[in-house]
Structure 1
Amino acid sequence: MEKFFNLKEHGTTPRTEFIAGITTFLTMVYIIIVNPAILSSAGVPFEQVFMATIISAVIGTLYMGLFAKYPIAIAPGMGMNAYFASVVATHGVPYQVVFGTVFLAGVLFVILSLTSIREVLIKAIPNSLKYGITSGIGLFIAFIGLKMSGIVVPNPDTMVTFGDLHQPVTILSLFGLFLTLILLARKINGALFIGMIITGVVGYFFNLLHFDGVVSMPPTPVFFDLDIAGVFSYGLYTVVFAFLLVTIFDTTGTMIGVAEQAGLMKEGKFPRAKNALMADALATTVGSTFGTSPSSAYIESSAGVAAGGRTGLTAVVVAILFILAMFFSPIIAAISSLPAITAPVLIIVGCFMMEGLSRIDWKTFDDAFPAFAIILTMPLTSSIATGIAIGFITYPLMKLVSGKGKEVHPILYVFGVIFIIQMIFFPAH
């Protein structure tokens, strides 16, 4: 294990990686309940999506851990599942046809991952955008945690406002948040994980955490319930394009953000990029054949990194826990139903991801504003991909009008134009 994952070289231990894997898993396990809930609204059987979600997560995360050796987990992406359901509703097509679009996008994704296009893109992204992406994801994660816990709630006049501190889940979330902050301040190893466990125990004794059983047999997977020919007969080419484009940039941005946070970027480069980028491409393709929407690298992986995860062993632990989750769906459903367990971790991890802000050259406006635009739009639009798009549009534009157009890699101009077209004509969110 030490030799395969180079644990000492990365300053970590099997115990640390194990705790990091559990931490990442607990912060993202909601997906195996939420994803079936969203896709079942489009007519896909709940049990089919439950198994497809786990299968795609296991394949993508195992590939990431064993071949790319990064502490990054893969699973069906939030946002893409909602878009899937909206396509079924707005186009009035069977869900099997939309799975056909996901499959075609996945195949194109695999082909692109075999080429150097995505690697070139990562190298071409300037540091100011990379730090902006990392910080924007951090704010996005923190905002998700605040909403999940009820610390902030919707408000028609101000978009959001402070929540009701009389709500039991909000009180428990604040308890978990301050407990975890104290553990971190005292430099307790595994503080995030310990905080989640204690919060869960308190929630159980205050009747907020309910278990309807412990073990259950997993449903039988459904294979190839899709209609590829229907994609062409219904002319859903733009849907394929939207799935492909958003997934590529959502995943690329997340991987850069998590790798940057873990200190795994080497002079702005992303080592073993092809293997890392292949992980979500395979998960998307295979997942579509079992019945789920496109997969993506998970921003919750940053929780595991914050807990000390630095190698692929963290991802392998996450994959194993997803396999076990097939047999413990009642417990998983209970944990997922109590946001107070995971919300504090997301808020704290958001803080950890702000570190890159100090490395942005704020005095150089054409560097600073695109980073600021990313940081601003990710949480406000609830979309990593939209934030990245704004950055890719404003950066080359700002450099061009500042007379520094030659400093910009040509591929950024290409994607800047693509993003403008995509946002106007093919909005995916």
Structure 2
Amino acid sequence: MFNFKTHNTSVKTEIIAGITTFLTMAYIIVVNPVILADGGVPFQQGFTATIIAAVVGSLCMALFANLPVAIAPGMGLNAYFAYSVVQANGNVDFKIAFSAVFVTGLLFLLLSLTKFRTKLIEAIPQSLKYAITAGIGLFIAFIGLRMSGVIADHPANLVGLGNLHSPSVILALVGLAITLVLMSLNINGALFIGMLITGIIAYFTGDLSFKDGITSMPQLPEGVIVWNPITAVSDVIKYGLYTVIFSFLLVTLFDTTGTLLGVTEQAGLMKNGKLPNAGRALLSDSISTTVGSMFGTSPTTAYIESSAGVAAGGRTGFTTLIVAGLFIIAAFFSPLIGAVSGVAAITAPSLIIVGSLMIGAVRHIDWEQFDEAFPAFLVILSMPLTSSIATGIALGFISYPLMKIARGKFRDIHPFIYVFAVLFLYQLVFLPH
């Protein structure tokens, strides 16, 4: 089924690759429920939903697409869900917000069955794609700094340096230093290992305790949150969540596609510049997003951390099958994960470092061309300052065609971009954000 000989690999190699991939992305088991909790999602619900989405997506990728690319709820998308969709809208709770994610998943499914997805990705300017990735990176890092207390509220400048004598801040900085050393040494699973070591330190300092034990059966306190498409669509219409859906689609579209292309190219699986089983791979992500939203997590994406497994020799879906199996095992350790998530100093370093990795996308932006550079700059700057990923995207898509028109390059812009600009302008002016 996995064609080990064709791909010049073995079961042993694939198992090692699967373990490697899991360790590099295991931080999401802790971090995702923490971020979703800021949007009102009960931790246990977010934890189990994260596991379900990762297992479903990775299994589909393994069995349908036979690719060594794991799927799980995406960083940035979870922050957008919690802070821009729920916290920023007092009349929208997490259950209503999941209706928007559910509809996004269904639309994603439809797009994955057509060529429209490819056309949409091609229409988005490269500079804006990279700017959105970088902007989300800054936003995530900012959240990590705030969570840890390294950055605190300031009466004059809004934010400033926190109390460096605070035990929690010291622990966070120690955890960050440990993880940075592991990253510098190119140790696989550095983020996960960094959290583990920081957790051990926190245990001996009294900041971490396991009052509820270590293991338990998986639970979903809220049950299935959304399952009826009609109800979900009516929620979207009632609360005007069109921009939310568009933002989810936009980020997920090129995030997943870009990761798939990058990882499969690294694995040598690209054939004549084309991704094998591309349709099935995209469909796997779509199914994961839809199922994940039903139980309580934000949209999923293909994980760039899969490149670590590929570097370890992973070439087939068996690698991803191992990842799915390890996620299932992790589902029985919710008390342990819950205790760890309660100590911000343990999870914050991962957010800061993931943000630093995402900001690297700025190197691909053509800073010499002002009509390319400024819209990208606006996206990157506005996301952390407005605490809204959607606002950053909107400002970029509005300013980009405006500057191109001013330079007489209006014919170089895809019609889709003009449509996006009008929609985002309407959203900023007339809809809550």
Please point out which of 41, 60, 66 is paired with 1:63: 60
Percent of matched pairs sharing the same residue: 43
Instruction: Give the secondary-structure state (helix, strand or coil) at the position aligned to 2:153.
Output: strand
Q: For residue 180 of structure 1, what is the amino acid of its counterpart? A: T
Q: Is the 8 A contact 2:214 2:333 kept in 1?
A: yes
Instruction: Give the equivalent residue in structure 2 for 1:340.
Output: 345
User: What TM-score, normalized to structure 1?
Assistant: 0.79
Instruction: Give the secondary-structure state (helix, strand or coil) at the position aligned to 1:133.
Output: helix
Shift of residue 368, structure 1, vs aligned partner: 0.9
- CA separation of 1:15/1:188 partners in 2, compared to 1, >3 Å: closer, same or farther? same
Instruction: Give the equivalent residue in structure 2 for 1:409.
Output: 414
- CA separation of 1:225/1:124 partners in 2, compared to 1, >3 Å: closer, same or farther? closer
Instruction: Give the equivalent residue in structure 2 for 1:198.
Output: 197
Instruction: Give the secondary-structure state (helix, strand or coil) at the position aligned to 1:90.
Output: coil
- CA separation of 1:282/1:156 partners in 2, compared to 1, >3 Å: closer, same or farther? farther
Structure 2 CA distance for aligned equivalents of residues 309 and 227 of structure 1? 38
1:351 aligns with 2:356: yes
Structure 2 CA distance for aligned equivalents of residues 22 and 5 of structure 1? 27
Instruction: Give the equivalent residue in structure 2 for 1:252.
Output: 253
Structure 1 CA distance for aligned equivalents of residues 129 and 416 of structure 2? 16
Q: Is the 8 A contact 1:24 1:318 kept in 2?
A: no
Structure 2 CA distance for aligned equivalents of residues 314 and 101 of structure 1? 32
Structure 2 CA distance for aligned equivalents of residues 183 and 49 of structure 1? 28
Shift of residue 171, structure 1, vs aligned partner: 0.7
Instruction: Give the equivalent residue in structure 1 for 2:425.
Output: 420
Q: For residue 369 of structure 1, what is the amino acid of its counterpart? A: F
Q: For residue 341 of structure 2, what is the amino acid of its counterpart? A: S
Structure 1 CA distance for aligned equivalents of residues 353 and 96 of structure 2? 41
**CA deviation profile, 1:26-58 (whole Å, cap 9, x unmatched):** 245233355367445xxxx87666544532343
Structure 2 CA distance for aligned equivalents of residues 184 and 225 of structure 1? 39
Instruction: Give the equivalent residue in structure 2 for 1:329.
Output: 334
Please point out which of 379, 385, 392 is paired with 1:387: 392
Q: For residue 423 of structure 2, what is the amino acid of its counterpart? A: I
User: What TM-score, normalized to structure 2?
Assistant: 0.78
Number of aligned residues: 413
Q: For residue 368 of structure 1, what is the amino acid of its counterpart? A: A
Structure 2 CA distance for aligned equivalents of residues 7 and 24 of structure 1? 25
Instruction: Give the equivalent residue in structure 2 for 1:155.
Output: 154
Q: For residue 392 of structure 2, what is the amino acid of its counterpart? A: G
Instruction: Give the equivalent residue in structure 2 for 1:219.
Output: 219
**CA deviation profile, 1:370-399 (whole Å, cap 9, x unmatched):** 111121122223333332232222222211
- CA separation of 1:245/1:305 partners in 2, compared to 1, >3 Å: closer, same or farther? same
Structure 1 CA distance for aligned equivalents of residues 6 and 430 of structure 2? 44
Q: Is the 8 A contact 1:218 1:326 kept in 2?
A: yes
- CA separation of 1:171/1:5 partners in 2, compared to 1, >3 Å: closer, same or farther? farther
**CA deviation profile, 1:245-277 (whole Å, cap 9, x unmatched):** 1220232354367568869599xx994664454
Q: For residue 163 of structure 1, what is the amino acid of its counterpart? A: G
- CA separation of 1:58/1:235 partners in 2, compared to 1, >3 Å: closer, same or farther? closer
Q: Is the 8 A contact 1:98 1:231 kept in 2?
A: no
Instruction: Give the equivalent residue in structure 1 for 2:110.
Output: 111
Structure 2 CA distance for aligned equivalents of residues 244 and 202 of structure 1? 41
Q: Is the 8 A contact 1:101 1:239 kept in 2?
A: no
Q: For residue 107 of structure 1, what is the amino acid of its counterpart? A: L
Q: Is the 8 A contact 2:151 2:159 kept in 1?
A: yes
Instruction: Give the equivalent residue in structure 1 for 2:299.
Output: 295
Shift of residue 284, structure 1, vs aligned partner: 3.8
Instruction: Give the equivalent residue in structure 1 for 2:172.
Output: 173
| Structure 1 segment 24-43 matched on structure 2, within 5 A | 24-32=25-33, 35=36, 38-39=39-40
Instruction: Give the equivalent residue in structure 2 for 1:19.
Output: 20
Q: Is the 8 A contact 2:131 2:380 kept in 1?
A: yes
Shift of residue 297, structure 1, vs aligned partner: 2.9
**CA deviation profile, 1:167-199 (whole Å, cap 9, x unmatched):** 222111211222233334445554444333222
Instruction: Give the equivalent residue in structure 2 for 1:360.
Output: 365
Q: Is the 8 A contact 2:127 2:366 kept in 1?
A: yes
Q: Is the 8 A contact 1:142 1:346 kept in 2?
A: yes
Instruction: Give the equivalent residue in structure 1 for 2:404.
Output: 399
Comparing 18-27 with 143-152, which one deviates more in the overlay?
18-27
Shift of residue 232, structure 1, vs aligned partner: 7.6
Structure 1 CA distance for aligned equivalents of residues 382 and 254 of structure 2? 14
Structure 2 CA distance for aligned equivalents of residues 98 and 183 of structure 1? 37
Stretches of structure 1 lacking an aligned partner (at least 5 in a row): none
Structure 1 CA distance for aligned equivalents of residues 203 and 236 of structure 2? 51
Structure 2 CA distance for aligned equivalents of residues 169 and 309 of structure 1? 36
Instruction: Give the equivalent residue in structure 1 for 2:130.
Output: 131
Q: Is the 8 A contact 1:373 1:391 kept in 2?
A: yes
Instruction: Give the secondary-structure state (helix, strand or coil) at the position aligned to 1:297.
Output: strand
| Structure 1 segment 46-85 matched on structure 2, within 5 A | 51-64=48-61, 67=65, 69-74=68-73, 77-81=78-82
Structure 2 CA distance for aligned equivalents of residues 188 and 233 of structure 1? 48
Instruction: Give the secondary-structure state (helix, strand or coil) at the position aligned to 1:73.
Output: strand
Q: Is the 8 A contact 1:97 1:227 kept in 2?
A: no
- CA separation of 1:276/1:170 partners in 2, compared to 1, >3 Å: closer, same or farther? farther
Structure 1 CA distance for aligned equivalents of residues 258 and 126 of structure 2? 11
Task: Provide the alpha-carbon RMSD of the alignment.
Answer: 4.0
Stretches of structure 2 lacking an aligned partner (at least 5 in a row): none
Q: Is the 8 A contact 1:211 1:331 kept in 2?
A: yes
Comparing 242-251 with 225-234, which one deviates more in the overlay?
225-234
